[in-house]
Amino acid sequence: MGYFGGRVVAVTGAGAGIGRELAVQLARAGARLALSDLDESAVKETVDLCGAASGSVFAAAVDVSDKDAVVQHAAEVGDRFGRVDAVFNNAGILFAGDVVDSEFADFERVMSVDFWGVVYGTKAFLPYVMRSDRGHVVNTSSAFGLMAAPGYSAYNAAKFAVRGFTESLRQEMQVGGHPVKVTCVVPGGIRTSIARTAGHAVGVDGDEVARSFEERIARTGPDEAARVILRGVERGKARVLVGPDARVVDVVTRMLGPAYQRLLPAATRLQK
Ligand code: NAD
């Protein structure tokens, strides 16, 4: 049995993209799965793709921004399997739009899914994970949680917040001597539908955002992303950089510090 064999693992946002690939690879590794997504039919499709033995996958429609629903889901998963060894707080949405053009509601929506969804998932599953002999909390930030970009303040804010929350929790588990490894996932551009389904402010061409993401940014496949994430989690890494672009962003932000903020405006102006 490999590292995840027989382990109970919860994955949010398992109906598409990286979450779906995590589910498929975890099923292949012999994990027992609690998969959730806002989109019920999508998460059911993932269950079919997992092709796992019946009884070893539990699927549910859960909106991660709904605190009560997340808490109830965690309790249901705990009851059903008797334990939870790992939670992957993966669900997230993208939003494009300058601060001046974005509504308060746009910021609130992105924070409620991308930040609060991670807090709810972590808090709801943590009591179970802390009872595991080797527990994991795996929270998905982004290269945009290391480096901010013009036009993405809501997403940047949420992903920076996820990183801070996750890095603090990792240290708390160490201070408390709990056998829980906490990992912050930092993907670069991954070929998923995230840009197609993204929200955007008035005046932003959503099709153009999706096209440019697909043609110029999304260089890594979701299958490769899931492989890198699972390997990093197995090694108990604090941060998992996914894709060469995430590694570049990591180096650039460390080398330049706040001066990195000169790069993107210059590149944006050149493109105009
Ligand atoms: P995706 O759009 O392909 O899949 C996201 C899944 O989350 C979908 O199935 C969607 O239905 C679900 N979801 C959305 N809102 C939800 C909610 N409120 N409650 C429950 N489920 C919800 O996206 P992806 O690219 O696989 O992204 C996965 C994670 O990786 C996200 O947190 C995203 O921000 C992050 N990320 C992605 C990229 C990328 O380039 N694709 C880069 C950096 C970070």
The tens digit of pLDDT for each residue in 128-163 reads 999 999 999 999 999 999 999 999 999 999 999 999
Test site for ligand 1: of 43, 67, 93, 229, most ligand atoms within 8 A of the Cβ? 93
Q: What are phi and psi of 188, to 5 degrees?
A: -85, -150
Torsion, Cα 60 210 248 180, to 10 degrees, reads: -10
Nearest CA to ligand 1 atom 7: 13
SS3 137: strand
Q: Does residue 52 surpass a pLDDT of 70?
A: no
Q: Which atom of ligand 1 is nearest to the CA of 140?
A: 32
Report d(CA 174, CA 181) in Å as an integer: 8
The tens digit of pLDDT for each residue in 148-205 reads 999 999 999 999 999 999 999 999 999 999 999 999 999 999 999 999 999 999 999 9
What average pLDDT score do residues 56-84 get? 98
Phi-psi region of 258 (alpha: psi -120 to 50; beta: other; left: phi over 0): alpha
DSSP state of 213: I
In single-letter form, the type of residue at position 122 comes to T
Q: Does residue 53 surpass a pLDDT of 70?
A: no
Report d(CA 23, CA 54) in Å as an integer: 15
The tens digit of pLDDT for each residue in 218-272 reads 999 999 999 999 999 999 999 999 999 999 999 999 999 999 999 989 887 887 7
Q: Does the model's pTM come out above 0.75?
A: yes
Q: Which atom of ligand 1 is nearest to the CA of 187?
A: 43
| Ligand 1-lining residues (CB < 6 angstroms) | 12-13, 15-19, 37-39, 42, 63-65, 90-93, 113, 117, 140, 142, 187, 189-190, 192-194, 197, 218
16 contacts 37 by C-beta, under 8 angstroms: yes
Closest CA to 212 of 93, 42, 91, 94: 94
Residues that are catalytic = 155
Q: Which atom of ligand 1 is nearest to the CA of 192?
A: 3
Long-range own/partner contacts, residues 42-47 (CB < 8 A, 24 or more apart): 42/15, 42/16, 43/14, 43/15, 45/15, 46/14, 46/15, 46/19, 46/20
Test site for ligand 1: of 72, 87, 194, most ligand atoms within 8 A of the Cβ? 194
Nearest CA to ligand 1 atom 32: 92
Report d(CA 57, CA 36) in Å as an integer: 11
Q: Which atom of ligand 1 is nearest to the CA of 112?
A: 18
Domains defined along the chain, listed by start: 8-271 (3.40.50.720)
132 contacts 84 by C-beta, under 8 angstroms: yes
Cβ count within 10 A of residue 56:
15
* Angle subtended at Cα 218 by Cα 216 and Cα 219, rounded to the nearest 5 degrees: 90
Closest CA to 236 of 174, 150, 156, 149: 174
67 Cα: distance to centroid of ligand 1 (angstroms):
18
